[in-house]
Amino acid sequence: MVEVTVTPQSSLADRPVQVQVRGLSPSQLVTLRASLTDEQGECFQARAFFHADREGEVDPGRHAALGGSYAGVWPMGLFWFLQPDTLFRRLVKRDVAGSPFLVRLEVFDGLCLVTGPQDQLLASCEAERWYVGPGVQRVPIREGRVRGALFLPP
């Protein structure tokens, strides 16, 4: 049984996570895809192609991506290389304290350049990426022409 995990499942957006896929056949070619929908409903995606190792595992922190949104060993590549489905959109989190970005990670059998109904989904999971830690207080700043926010630790 194929399984994809993100450790930790819930984390701050600037903290690294570890993505691992287990239960594959040795040398199996798979596509890992990360996707999220922002607060305006815009979809962002990144994908990378991997060959499983002898144990049937894929770890982007140890194994080089063969192509896709990036190539080489990038432990956070699926998160860093998220691109919008619509050109010229930017990934911006407006409600930083109220909710996380939910990043869906999926593993597909073979090469999947454009995911369609014919592609075989092997496993999936979700990761929460928060922009404000628990107990942090947000104080709006308005002084003259200066606008901003001060984030105070608990």
Task: Kindly list the structural domains of the chain, giving each domain's residue range(s) and its CATH number in brackets, ordered by start.
Answer: 3-152 (2.60.40.2240)
Residue with tokens 């990360």: 34
Higher pLDDT, 118 or 153: 153
Contact between 77 and 47 under an 8 Å Cβ cutoff? The reply is: no
pLDDT number for residue 119: 83
Tell me what the mean pLDDT of segment 135-141 comes to.
Answer: 92
* pLDDT tens by residue, 100-127: 999 999 999 999 887 777 788 999 999 9
Vertex 86, ends 82 and 92: CA angle to 5°? 55
pLDDT band at 34 (very low <50, low <70, confident <90, very high): very high
pTM for the structure as a whole: 0.88
If pLDDT is split at 50, 70 and 90, which confidence band does 98 have? confident
Reported confidence tier of residue 44, pLDDT bands at 50, 70, 90: very high
Q: Report the SS3 class of residue 115.
A: coil
Give the separation between CA 2 and CA 21, rounded to whole angstroms.
7
Q: Is the pLDDT of residue 75 over 90?
A: yes
- Whether residue 60 has a cis bond before it, omega within 30° of 0: no
Residue 67: both structure tokens together: 């192509």
What's the CA gap between 124 and 38, in Å, rounded?
Answer: 19
Looking at residue 122, its amino acid is L
Res 9: pLDDT = 97
Q: How confident is the model at residue 63 (pLDDT cuts 50, 70, 90)?
A: very high
Confidence of residue 97 (pLDDT cuts 50, 70, 90): confident
